[in-house]
Chains A and B, each alone.
Chain A
Amino acid sequence: MNLLDLYVTEVGRRLPQKTRADIEAEIRSALQDLVDERTQATGKPIDDERVLAVLNEYGDPEKVAASYVGDRYLIGPKLYTTFVKVVFPVVLFTVILVLTGLGSWLFLTHSTTEDWIQLVAQTIGNLVGSVLLTSGIITIIFAILERTVPEFGLKKVEWDPHRLLKLQPPDRIRPGIPIVIIVLTCLAIRVFNFSPGIWVGGATFTSVTEAWQCYPSCGTYTNVWSLSFLSATFDRYLYALDVLWGLSIILCVLLVSQGYWRTWTRGADIGLKALWIGLAAMMLAGPSLIGITPADLKAAGFPDVAAQASSSIDLVNQMVRVMLGLMIVLSAEVIVRQLTRLLRRPKPLA
């Protein structure tokens, strides 16, 4: 990514998503025209210093973005980046909280389809309400700040295009992928640490009533069993998995908040992927991670299921191994890609 791209990105990240790509393309085209004019005027190939002079002439990215946004927006370019950085984690946390509640119920209970539909609909309602409330409050706070901050006389740091030279990241990070990773990782932590068994039946023991209770309500239930689905071997890997999941979440949060790949975050990603490869290789080479056996099912009082379960358990075992293999390949691909980006020099300007 050259200086022009970095500058355009600096403007673009202060613009609303809807118009961002179009305005970025226009600014890039306009800057290229200016650069061409300077090249023709001097008769010399353009270098970084001349490009920086052009960017200085074009102006502070914040002001350029403000000229496109105008006064019609509730939160302008001055606070837009900070607003996104604040509202995003808060909304994300809200979503994770509500989804964790739904996930817990789904894993801990065994109810009818009607119950599921009812709960999912209720969860969607709660989710929309919670997200609207939290984001609304934050938006109002920022809208007030937008109109009052200049009165506090905060010192404005003069924009210097040379700052672009200090930026190492060649790529902007779209927040979608890190968010998906965060949500899935949170769910994985929840599932593997707190719901490792299969609930056979539809009830759980509550400390409040000191009795077995069905969710949401399915009458009296007897013969409740919990079988361990994963093997003791898996439990030995769980601490390492938790550490790697935790590190992955921290990295994703940093990526979302920074908006760019930086040298150290790329390095961290490479290190993390290498650890994932090591762990996946150990799990692949070691004993089976699936702990449930036909004998367990038979002992639990399900002889019919046990008779047919052997081939299914073998299939699950194979699937787990394929997934581990895929994980190794994909992680290796990420390492190669990140190394390539780290070693690649910025493209010379035309």
Chain B
Amino acid sequence: MIGNLILELRRGVIVLGVLSQLDEERYGYALINCLKEKGLEVDQGTLYPLLRRLESQGLLESSWRIEADRPRRYYVLSKAGRELLPRLTTEWTEIVSAMNKMLK
């Protein structure tokens, strides 16, 4: 039960974390490492379906490229994604501020 609550809490955060790191093009594995370096661990089974979902919602764009004889799918924020990110960031800042006050 505790695990589920933590998962639920992280779910929304991951979306914002992913969007925040895709102002430049990255492929899935590079994005996982990038998030990990910044302290947010996301497993592959969560990230890849999330990327597809965000793309289907029009927030990301993707393209396949061949690198070292291997196809890689690169993701980047779409125009809608770039417009949404500042609004989500503001929302997040307000939530954090409010929660900090509540949890003191």
Contacts and interface: CB of A to CB of B under 8 A. Distances in A.
Contacts of B27: 29, 33
Choose among B46, B48, B71 the residue with the greatest number of A CB atoms under 10 Å from its CB.
Answer: B48
Interface in B24-39: 27-29
Contact of A67 (B28, B29, B46, B72): B46
Interface string B58-84: 000000100000111100000000000
Contact of A70 (B28, B45, B49, B73): B49
A33 B48 CA distance: 13
Nearest to B72: A29
Given A67-B46, A67-B49, A70-B49, A30 B70 contact: no
A63 B73 contact: no
Interface of A: 23, 25-27, 29-30, 32-34, 37, 58-59, 63-64, 67-68, 70
The A interface is mostly helix, strand or loop, or mixed, namely helix
A25 B63 CA distance: 12
Nearest to B51: A26
A70 B52 CA distance: 11
Given A32-B70, A68-B52, A26 B28 contact: yes
13 contacts: A26-B28, A26-B48, A26-B52, A27-B48, A29-B70, A29-B71, A37-B29, A58-B44, A59-B45, A63-B45, A67-B48, A67-B49, A70-B53
Interface of B: 27-29, 44-46, 48-49, 52-53, 64, 70-73
Contact of A64 (B29, B45, B64): B45
Contacts of B64: 25
B73 A29 contact: yes
Q: Which 3 A-B pairs have the closest CB atoms?
A: A33-B29, A67-B49, A68-B49
Nearest to A63: B45
A34 B48 CA distance: 14
Contacts of B52: 23, 26, 68
Given A29-B27, A67-B46, 9 more contacts: A23-B52, A25-B73, A27-B48, A30-B44, A30-B48, A32-B70, A34-B44, A67-B45, A70-B49
Nearest to B70: A32
A35 to B, nearest CB: 11
A34 B49 contact: no
A63 B71 CA distance: 24
Contacts of B72: 29
A55 to B, nearest CB: 11
Contacts of B70: 29, 32
Contacts of A70: 49, 53
Nearest to B69: A350
A181 B24 CA distance: 51
Contacts of B53: 70
Nearest to A69: B49
A283 to B, nearest CB: 49
Given A30-B28, A33-B29, A25 B44 contact: no
A150 to B, nearest CB: 16
A268 to B, nearest CB: 36
A331 to B, nearest CB: 37
A23 B28 CA distance: 13
A278 to B, nearest CB: 45
A27 B72 CA distance: 10
A123 B103 CA distance: 71
A305 B17 CA distance: 82
